Amino acid sequence: MSQSFNPADVRKAIIDQQKAQDRRKMLLNGVLLLLLLAAPFAMYPVFLMKILCFALFAVAFNLLFGFTGLLSFGHAAFLATGGYTTGYLLSNYSGLTTEVGIIAGTLVATALGLAFALLSIRRQGIYFAMVTLALAQLVYFFFVQSEFTGGEDGMHGIPRGHLFGLIDLSKNLNMYYFVLAVFIGCYLLVQRIVSSPYGQVLKAIKQNEPRAVSLGYNVDRYKVLAFVISAALAGLAGSMKSVVFQLASLNDAHWHMSGEVILMTLVGGMGTLLGPVVGATFVVNIEYQLSQGPLRDWVNPILGGIFVLTVLAFRSGIVGEIQKFLRKNLG
Amino acid sequence: MTMTKKLLTSAVASALMVSGAQAAISDNTVKIGYLADMSGTYRDLAGPNGLKALQMAIKDFGGTVNGAKIEVLSADDRNNPDASSSTVRRWVENDKVDMVAGLVASSVTIAVSKILEENDRLGIVSGSAASSITNEHCTPNHIHYVYDTYPLANGTASAVVKEGGKSWYLMTADYAFGHALEADVTRVVEANGGEIVGSVRHPFPTQDFSSFVLQAQASGADVVGLANAGSDTTNAITTASEFGVTQAGQTLAALLLFLTDVHALGVDTAQGIQLTTGWYWDMNDATREWSDRFMKETGVRPTMVHAGIYSSTLHYLNAVAAAGSDDAQTVRKQMMDTPINDMFATNGRIREDGRMVHDMYLAEVKTPAESKNEWDLYKILRTIPADEAYRPLSESKCKLVTN
Amino acid sequence: MTMIFGVPLAVLSGQLLIGFINGAFYALLSLGLAIIFGLLKIINFAHGAMYMLGALLTVVMFNTLGVNYWVALFMAPLLVGVFGVLIEYFLLRRIAGQDHIYSLLLTFGVALIIQGVLTNIYGVSGLRYAMPDMFKGGIKLDFMFLPYYRAWVIVVALLVCFGTWFMIEKTKLGAYLRAGTEDSQLMQGFGINVPLLVSLTYGFGVALAAFAGVLAAPIYSVTPGMGANTLIVVFAVVVIGGMGSIGGAIITGIMMGVIEGLTKTFYPPASSAVIFLVMVVVLMFRPSGLFGKEA
């Protein structure tokens, strides 16, 4: 090291750089927030809410898959459980305010998540994926059979009601800002989790589970907690979705939905914070655009093509590839 | 908009009100949105060929209505109610769509009908089977045009019981649709002096029916009734034929079977099955003439749903022309006031619950000896008059019906 | 009449036999999946689509070229096998060495493409395929009517299963295969073309699925979507048996057929869920499945 280097100067330079980076990040986040706030005036609010709900679903899934390395093939169960519970409560108990219904839906999905986690957490890799799939199939079976879900007709006419008994959610703008607030809250929560010491342990488990065990961590407890948080957020996404659309249907419980959230996360970039959000936006949009256009008979093969292409060429997803590009060219 | 313009418009509007024409056709365009399953399980029922039928109707009508353009939008419903509600909301709010046609999966139909009611637009349901669509889920904004489970169960079950099929064994698809069908059949069979000696509820979907067929054979019932749909029904019929159910003296009664299903099965396997249909392509000159044209467009014979889409679109456009308006309630009233007698419907009329009732037909699948070509599949045994076929209004739970 | 839990013995025997037949069918389907996973570590979510392709090819070859059932029994698996080799060569090879999950996602995508394209060509109502004349009719047993075709299915499925197991576990070819996929560098050194071996193994695995498809063509409705639901069930069978255990897949397949058959008799609505229930329970006590090696 040359003498002209003063450690204090170096530290200051690093801190300055960090600050500049934080400022850039703040600026970027501010712009994003403004865009999200203004979006319903430029785009159709219900569609934006759909994107936000799926983005939250994918963020939840990514916490487990991208950050902990556990591939759940049964996340549709939580989305559907949240949706059906909230829908059932709001439809049948008119005294409930909307947030109570949503919280209840989230709690039931959380409890289900705990049950799933306890049954599956000790299984490894593909066995874990398959147990979660099997459990989700049992949940699907229950929903098909139950009277209260309306079977394949679905549950319809769920009232949006009033938030805290005050704010009329039947107005799309009010509903949108509510969904946006919940989404941002959850996103920040996941960001906190990932950067916390707990999140570091999760990443360590993902990278090398035996080492995490030998370092004395109770790996199973960490994994169960990650699973439960992920299930809770997925349930919350389902609860909000049922209020937004005023319906809940079996599509949300089907294993194809579990596949779709994998696609969203993968396309956006698993293991990145923003990836699932980008991926959900991309998949929801492309599905919608395709189903309207001249290619409307070809949606499924095109989605299949996206799967294949992503796995072969863009395994880091949109956000991951951009990050790689930036790292290579800017620093 | 400037003040003077606003005043002028309202003046014109009130002048029109006075002159009796309620409102002209909005934007001088009649927009029809066609929403159906284009890629999934129900594709063959309506699907891309249903869109062709709709376009044939517009062409036959002349392409314009009272000088206004007719535009068609179309989308795949993905068999998914949320995706469909996004589509229909945008159609209604941004694209100013006046009428939504097609509508197949019941979950999609019910979701869409709520949006149409909220925005006061019209929907004409041609593909769905659920009779709840004009019962507990009725709205003043949709019409259920082609068929529903009530006449299907009613027609087939009462005919079979009257011919001596007294004891029944039911194979029911284990979800809301199957349960509703099972309840309807049970009621009809018992009302006609028959009895249900056993039933099995199978998961949806099921590929292998051999176990259930064996149970049906062991039950010794005269009739094996299939309260399911689509590939469940065709799989059940194939297996029944393989296990010699009909040779052993039992009758098969399919409660929901489409021309496309029978075509897929072939007369070898499906011969002798009785079913109820709302329409068949080979009934008379008018149906044959239209079906020939349809086949030229699509390469296949039309199902009752395709014919219903054509007929309902023409009926709708005629009503728009007669009322001089595309306002949903005005058109609906006009449609209800006009009886429907065309190549599709005989004695057709739209009731206040939105149910279009018309004559239905009891058909039997031809034997290989009778069938002259791959689409020569049914012989019509009997006409079921419109008033007998559908659920009477006195039993209705629809909020629009005052009993 | 003897009754067991309210079900006549005769009916029960019939159900057991039917369950056994379906089990043999599951075994055949699971076998290919187990080979592909066991030897190549590929989670083949396109297996259902390959089964469908076998059935669809049988029908289409008959309708267009007049190819009969017996020829189809060889032709369809052969064609699907070649298709499989191409998929392995052009797609799966590129992700060799990555996490297994990627092979699942890739093959899932491939299945979506195959099913979607064929749906647009052939529709969803199903294609007609007449039962070959020599299989029409059946044997009247004491307790049930057994169609000749089902008897044929059980015989041929068990033969193919046993033959495959024997080939992989007991012959020299099988030994090369197992060694080649376990330690490819070593085998390469012995002058064995391992990449080719891998392609052929994948092709063989999906050809087995196609073979099951041909067997299914006369008795099930042949539609582009027919493999999608079967896939999940067959996966459950392989997982219960222990991923990669070839003998395990065969035994479990037959066992699950019987269990499903019994459920169809005693509580039919649960018959599609029972396999998943068994899977959850089995994995709770045996984390690597019934016949899998402990991880």
Instruction: Supply the pLDDT for residue C238.
Output: 93
What's the half-sphere exposure (Cβ side, CA atoms, 13 Å) at B397?
6
Query: Beta-carbon neighbour count of residue C90 at 10 Å?
Result: 10
The H or E element containing residue A28 is helix A7-42
Residue C24 to residue C255: CA distance in whole angstroms: 9
Among C8, C147, C271, the residue with its CB nearest the CB of B242 is C147
Which is more confident, C54 or A146? Answer: C54
Which is more confident, B303 or B25? Answer: B303
Residue C116 resides in a domain: yes
Residue in this structure with the two tokens 């189809």, named with its chain if needed:
C72
Instruction: Supply the pLDDT for residue B138.
Output: 94
Taking CA B289 as the corner, what is the angle to CA B283 and CA B293, rounded to the nearest 5 degrees? 125
Interface mutation vs chain B, best among C124, C133, C153, C234, most B CBs within 10 Å:
C124
Mean pLDDT over each residue of chain C, to the nearest integer: 90
Residue C272 to residue C282: CA distance in whole angstroms: 17
Q: Do A154 and B81 touch (CB under 8 A)?
A: yes
Query: Beta-carbon neighbour count of residue C231 at 10 Å?
Result: 25
Q: Do C221 and B234 touch (CB under 8 A)?
A: yes
Number of DSSP helices (H) and strands (E) in chain A, helices first = 13, 4
Our CA-based measurement puts residue C158 at a distance from the nearest CA of chain B, in whole angstroms, of: 19
Tokens of residue A40, six digits: 């319903």
* Residue B64, strand partner residues: B69
Among C102, C105, C283, the residue with its CB nearest the CB of A127 is C283
- Across the range B290-318, mean pLDDT stands at 96
Query: Which residue does chain A place closest to C109, by CA atoms?
Result: A304
Query: Beta-carbon neighbour count of residue B285 at 10 Å?
Result: 8
Instruction: Supply the pLDDT for residue A27.
Output: 85
The H or E element containing residue B59 is helix B47-61
Instruction: Supply the pLDDT for residue B13.
Output: 47
pLDDT of B119 strictly over 50: yes
State percent of chain A over pLDDT 70.
98
Instruction: Supply the pLDDT for residue B21.
Output: 44
- Across the range A62-67, mean pLDDT stands at 94
pLDDT of A170 strictly over 60: yes
Residue B393 to residue A165: CA distance in whole angstroms: 39
pLDDT of C99 strictly over 90: no
- Across the range B278-299, mean pLDDT stands at 96
- Across the range A296-307, mean pLDDT stands at 90
- Across the range B351-371, mean pLDDT stands at 95
Interface mutation vs chain A, best among C37, C94, C108, most A CBs within 10 Å:
C108
Query: Beta-carbon neighbour count of residue C71 at 10 Å?
Result: 14
Assess contact for A276 and A268: CB atoms under 8 A: yes
What's the half-sphere exposure (Cβ side, CA atoms, 13 Å) at B72?
21
pLDDT of C183 strictly over 80: no
Give the domain range for residue C101: 18-285
Chain C positions in Cβ-Cβ contact with residue A137 (cut-off 8 Å): 232, 273, 276
Give the domain range for residue B107: 25-147+285-358
Each residue's pLDDT tens digit, B172-198: 998 878 888 898 899 999 999 999 999
Instruction: Supply the pLDDT for residue A4.
Output: 58
Please tell me the least confidently modeled range out of A12-16, A283-287, B398-402: A12-16
Residue A135 to residue A131: CA distance in whole angstroms: 6
Each residue's pLDDT tens digit, B144-176: 999 998 998 888 999 899 888 999 999 999 887
Q: What share of chain B is helix, strand, coil (3-state, %, to 5)?
A: 45, 20, 35
For helices A255-268 and A76-92, give the axis angle rounded to 10 degrees: 120
Show the DSSP H helices in C41-90 as ranges: 47-65, 69-90
Instruction: Supply the pLDDT for residue C12.
Output: 86
- Across the range C88-107, mean pLDDT stands at 90
ipTM for the predicted complex comes to 0.89
Residue A299 to residue A321: CA distance in whole angstroms: 25
Residue C292 resides in a domain: no
Same domain, B228 and B293: no
Contacts of B301 (CB under 8 A, 6+ apart): B259, B263, B281, B291, B294, B295, B375
Residue C5 resides in a domain: no
Tokens of residue B224, six digits: 């094996």
Q: Do A134 and C236 touch (CB under 8 A)?
A: yes
Please tell me the least confidently modeled range out of B15-19, B209-213, B306-310, C212-216: B15-19
- DSSP symbols for B187-245: HHHHHTT-EEEEEEEE-SS-S--HHHHHHHHHHT-SEEEEE--HHHHHHHHHHHHHTTT
pLDDT of A25 strictly over 90: no
Mean pLDDT over each residue of chain B, to the nearest integer: 90
pLDDT of A3 strictly over 70: no
Tokens of residue C287, six digits: 């984390």
Please tell me the least confidently modeled range out of A245-254, B314-323, C3-12: C3-12
Our CA-based measurement puts residue A281 at a distance from the nearest CA of chain C, in whole angstroms, of: 19
Chain C positions in Cβ-Cβ contact with residue B227 (cut-off 8 Å): none
Q: Do C272 and A141 touch (CB under 8 A)?
A: yes
Instruction: Supply the pLDDT for residue B19.
Output: 41
Our CA-based measurement puts residue B396 at a distance from the nearest CA of chain C, in whole angstroms, of: 30
Please tell me the least confidently modeled range out of A62-71, B6-15, B227-236: B6-15
B297: alpha, beta or left? (left if phi > 0; alpha if psi -120 to 50)? alpha
pLDDT of B18 strictly over 50: no
State percent of chain C over pLDDT 70.
97
Which is more confident, C5 or B271? Answer: B271
Which is more confident, A331 or A327? Answer: A327
Residue C214 to residue C59: CA distance in whole angstroms: 9
Tokens of residue C190, six digits: 């012995």
Closest by CA position to A201, among listed A187, A219, A224, A186: A219
Each residue's pLDDT tens digit, C239-258: 999 988 899 999 999 999 99
Same domain, B66 and B97: yes
Instruction: Supply the pLDDT for residue A123.
Output: 85
pLDDT band at residue B319 using 50, 70 and 90 as cut-offs: very high
Please tell me the least confidently modeled range out of A187-196, C84-93, C281-290: C281-290
Q: What share of chain A is helix, strand, coil (3-state, %, to 5)?
A: 80, 0, 20
Assess contact for B32 and B70: CB atoms under 8 A: yes
Instruction: Supply the pLDDT for residue C254.
Output: 96
pLDDT band at residue A296 using 50, 70 and 90 as cut-offs: confident
Amino acid identity at A150 = G
CA distances C146 to A294, B189, C105, Å, are: 50, 31, 41
Q: Do C128 and B242 touch (CB under 8 A)?
A: no
- Across the range A233-256, mean pLDDT stands at 94
The number of distinct structural domains making up chain C is 1
Residue in this structure with the two tokens 């560098």, named with its chain if needed:
C185
Closest by CA position to B244, among listed A271, C91, C131: C131
3-state secondary structure of C27: helix
Q: Do C243 and A126 touch (CB under 8 A)?
A: yes
Each residue's pLDDT tens digit, C207-227: 999 999 999 999 998 999 999
Residue B48 to residue B305: CA distance in whole angstroms: 12
Each residue's pLDDT tens digit, B43-57: 888 899 999 999 999
Q: Judging by DSSP bridges, how do beta strands B142-144 and B99-102 pair with one another?
A: unpaired
Instruction: Supply the pLDDT for residue A5.
Output: 65
Same domain, B134 and B170: no
Instruction: Supply the pLDDT for residue B321.
Output: 94
Integer-rounded Cα radius of gyration of chain B? 22
- Across the range B224-243, mean pLDDT stands at 91
Distance of alpha carbon C19 from its chain centroid, rounded? 16
Assess contact for C22 and C237: CB atoms under 8 A: no
pLDDT band at residue B403 using 50, 70 and 90 as cut-offs: low
Interface mutation vs chain C, best among A116, A137, A270, most C CBs within 10 Å:
A137
Closest by CA position to B311, among listed B143, B150, B153: B143
* CATH number for the domain that contains residue C96: 1.10.3470
Which is more confident, B2 or B295? Answer: B295
- Across the range B352-375, mean pLDDT stands at 94
- Across the range C175-202, mean pLDDT stands at 82
DSSP structure class, residue A22:
H
pLDDT of A236 strictly over 70: yes
Instruction: Supply the pLDDT for residue B52.
Output: 96
Instruction: Supply the pLDDT for residue A143.
Output: 93
pLDDT band at residue B17 using 50, 70 and 90 as cut-offs: very low
pLDDT of A330 strictly over 80: no
- Across the range C6-19, mean pLDDT stands at 84
Query: Which residue does chain A place closest to C242, by CA atoms?
Result: A127
Residue A90 to residue B125: CA distance in whole angstroms: 28
Our CA-based measurement puts residue A299 at a distance from the nearest CA of chain C, in whole angstroms, of: 8
State percent of chain B over pLDDT 90.
71
Residue B37 resides in a domain: yes
Q: Do C269 and B203 touch (CB under 8 A)?
A: yes
State percent of chain B over pLDDT 70.
94
Residue B164 to residue B251: CA distance in whole angstroms: 10
Is A30 at the interface with chain C, CB within 8 A?
Answer: no
Contacts of B167 (CB under 8 A, 6+ apart): B194, B195, B196, B197, B220, B221, B222, B223
Residue C193 resides in a domain: yes
Same domain, B106 and B36: yes
Our CA-based measurement puts residue A72 at a distance from the nearest CA of chain C, in whole angstroms, of: 11
Tokens of residue A311, six digits: 């796995």
Structure-derived torsion over alpha carbons of residues C246, C250, C255, C257, reported in degrees to the nearest 10: 130
Q: How many residues does chain B have?
A: 403
Query: Which residue does chain B place closest to A285, by CA atoms?
Result: B83
Residue B174 to residue A86: CA distance in whole angstroms: 25
- Across the range C122-129, mean pLDDT stands at 88
Residue B307 to residue B49: CA distance in whole angstroms: 10
Residue B402 resides in a domain: no
- Across the range A152-156, mean pLDDT stands at 87
CA distances A82 to A159, A243, A250, B397, C3, Å, are: 15, 11, 12, 30, 45
Instruction: Supply the pLDDT for residue A326.
Output: 85
Instruction: Supply the pLDDT for residue B172.
Output: 93
Residue A101 to residue A269: CA distance in whole angstroms: 32
Whole-model pTM?
Answer: 0.89
Q: Do B200 and C268 touch (CB under 8 A)?
A: yes
Is C104 at the interface with chain A, CB within 8 A?
Answer: yes
Residue B398 to residue B352: CA distance in whole angstroms: 9
Among C94, C102, C276, the residue with its CB nearest the CB of A134 is C276
Closest by CA position to A313, among listed C106, C202, C43: C106
pLDDT band at residue C155 using 50, 70 and 90 as cut-offs: very high
Residue B385 resides in a domain: yes
Same domain, B273 and B159: yes
pLDDT band at residue B15 using 50, 70 and 90 as cut-offs: very low
Our CA-based measurement puts residue A292 at a distance from the nearest CA of chain C, in whole angstroms, of: 17
pLDDT of A30 strictly over 90: no
Residue C72 resides in a domain: yes
- DSSP symbols for B342-389: SSS-SSBEE-TTSBEE--EEEEEEPPTTT--STT--EEEEEEE-HHHH
Q: Do B41 and C225 touch (CB under 8 A)?
A: yes
Distance of alpha carbon A95 from its chain centroid, rounded? 30
Instruction: Supply the pLDDT for residue B279.
Output: 96
The H or E element containing residue C2 is none
* CATH number for the domain that contains residue B375: 3.40.50.2300
Assess contact for A96 and A103: CB atoms under 8 A: no
DSSP structure class, residue B137:
T
